[in-house]
């Protein structure tokens, strides 16, 4: 395909709209309404908030942490194969559609979750997570194909900003539904929460039609071969061997792994922390996450500007240091206003570190390659394994110590290790010329 067609504003804007479509899942399902609803229907069922899950007794919030770990472990295991298949067969868009529809339909299924079918809720929340994470593998891989390296930071930031704006709009609607269910002809706030899961699924699938219609099907004209499954494994092995010899990329991935353990865990478990440790009501928890999302819109652009002026490395170092302070601060938070203040700082660096990490990695992919999905699979697997390790260790520490404060404090160690690896690298401004570094 003509590169001029790939780099059109229409294609780039359509790509960014997938963030608008799927970010409602990460905000409504993973960060706010679902964990609050999950806690409300599982709290007090047994002593110490334990629940029966397929015959096993486990603390409700620990079960939630482990369910996140499990879902991302699954996607971490299969995404390298899938992205290799996508690169080898030219079916990147088809795989993106499959996982997007899996995730959106799973959100719809959560409408039927209540305290009488805990297994149903956990299983479909896991499937929704797999759908979300799986689609992101192929979505991210489009970035280096639809723009030039000098525009990676801004286009990546645009995607995250659209995602935050769209998800905030839907969250405000959902919050009104929960606060005033009678306005929407709903029986109570529990029904309103379940109805929000339904809307999330429809929003995700509906707005996904924009990128699905305009993103290129097979931009490099690759042949669709019957042996693409085997080819997928071969592509993964080839890229892994290349990554090992690109020192700056391997060190960046190590840094990204450790600081993502902290970032992603905070994103997924902030609401459960506020509920269990501070006893905040559901509406205040949702407002807290809303603060994070609104500030994150500005944060993603702020640090895109900082990176343009001072470089990606310095910008990332500053954000990681701020995250270390956040982890320490969480241990000493006891009031709602302190929690709101901490949420403001989280929002400032959450959007920036996600956006800049994605665009920084794009700069480290050798310009001579067309196997972007395979390269991004390593990026995505690194992030998914970080979520697995971060949420699992968070749950284990809570189970052993009985306090999420200790879990939050331990996340600071992951950020410090990530900072150490980050200080060892020099990030090129215009990308790597070859696969040697």
Can you give the residue ranges of every domain in the chain? Answer: 3-216+226-422
Alpha-carbon span 374 to 82, nearest angstrom: 9
Residue 321 or 285, more confident? 321
Mean pLDDT of 291-296: 80
Q: How sure is the predictor about 381, in pLDDT bands with cuts at 50, 70 and 90?
A: confident
Q: What pLDDT score was predicted for residue 259?
A: 94
By CB atoms closer than 10 A (0-12, 13-18, 19+), residue 151 is middle
CATH class given for the domain over 3-216+226-422: mainly alpha
Dihedral of the alpha carbons of 408, 306, 434, 84, in degrees to the nearest 10 = 40
> CB within 8 A of 13, min separation 6: which ones?
none
- 437 has a pLDDT exceeding 50: no
**What one-character DSSP code corresponds to residue 281?**
-
Q: Name the 3-class secondary structure at 248.
A: helix
Alpha-carbon span 206 to 75, nearest angstrom: 24
Mean pLDDT of the chain: 84
pLDDT tens column, 161-209? 898 789 889 988 998 998 899 999 998 888 999 999 999 999 999 999 9
pTM surpassing 0.85?
no
Determine contact, residues 136/358, Cβ cutoff 8 Å.
no
Q: What pLDDT score was predicted for residue 401?
A: 86
Q: What pLDDT score was predicted for residue 1?
A: 46
Highest mean pLDDT among 43-57, 81-95, 359-373: 43-57
pLDDT tens column, 200-249? 999 999 999 999 999 887 665 655 555 555 665 676 677 778 878 888 88
Alpha-carbon span 388 to 373, nearest angstrom: 21
- 2 has a pLDDT exceeding 50: no
170-180 b/e (C-beta count within 10 Å ≥ 16 → b): bbeebbebbee
Q: Give the residue from 306, 341, 314 showing the smallest Cα distance to 326.
A: 341
> CB within 8 A of 413, min separation 6: which ones?
none
Q: What pLDDT score was predicted for residue 193?
A: 92
């Amino acid at each position: 395909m003509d590169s001029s067609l790939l780099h059109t504003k229409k294609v780039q804007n359509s790509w960014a709209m997938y963030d608008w479509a799927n970010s409602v899942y990460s905000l409504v399902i993973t960060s706010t309404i679902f964990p609050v609803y999950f806690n409300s229907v599982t709290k007090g069922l047994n002593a110490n908030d334990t629940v029966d899950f397929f015959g096993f007794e486990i603390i409700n919030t620990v079960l939630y942490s482990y369910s996140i770990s499990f879902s991302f472990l699954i996607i971490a295991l299969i995404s390298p194969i899938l992205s290799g298949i996508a690169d080898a067969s030219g079916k990147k868009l088809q795989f993106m559609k499959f996982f997007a529809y899996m995730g959106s339909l799973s959100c719809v299924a959560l409408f039927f979750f209540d305290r009488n079918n805990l297994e149903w809720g956990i299983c479909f929340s896991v499937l929704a997570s797999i759908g979300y994470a799986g689609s992101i593998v192929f979505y991210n891989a489009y970035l280096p194909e639809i723009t030039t390296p000098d525009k990676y930071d801004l286009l990546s930031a645009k995607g995250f900003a659209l995602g935050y704006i769209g998800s905030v709009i839907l969250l405000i609607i959902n919050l009104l539904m929960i606060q005033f269910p009678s306005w929407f002809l709903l029986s109570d706030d529990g029904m309103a929460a379940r109805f929000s899961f339904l809307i999330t699924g429809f929003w995700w699938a509906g707005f996904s039609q924009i990128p699905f219609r305009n993103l290129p099907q097979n931009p490099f004209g690759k042949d669709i071969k019957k042996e693409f499954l085997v080819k997928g494994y071969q592509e993964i092995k080839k890229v892994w061997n290349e990554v090992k010899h690109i020192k700056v990329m391997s060190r960046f991935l190590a840094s990204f792994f450790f600081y993502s353990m902290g970032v992603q865990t905070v994103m997924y478990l902030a609401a459960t922390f506020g509920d269990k440790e501070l006893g905040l009501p559901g509406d205040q928890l949702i407002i807290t996450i809303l603060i994070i999302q609104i500030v994150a819109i500005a944060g993603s652009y702020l640090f895109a500007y900082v990176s343009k002026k001072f470089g990606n490395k310095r910008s990332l170092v500053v954000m990681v240091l701020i995250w270390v302070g956040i982890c320490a601060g969480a241990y000493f938070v006891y009031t709602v206003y302190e929690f709101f203040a901490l949420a403001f700082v989280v929002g400032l660096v959450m959007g920036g570190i996600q956006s800049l990490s994605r665009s920084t990695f794009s700069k480290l992919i050798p310009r001579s390659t067309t196997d972007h999905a395979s390269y991004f699979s390593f990026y995505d697997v690194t992030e998914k394994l970080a979520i697995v390790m971060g949420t699992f260790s968070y749950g284990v520490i809570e189970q052993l110590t009985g306090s999420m404060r200790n879990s939050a404090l331990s996340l600071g160690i992951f950020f410090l290790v990530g900072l150490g690896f980050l200080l060892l690298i020099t990030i090129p401004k215009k990308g790597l010329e070859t696969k040697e570094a």
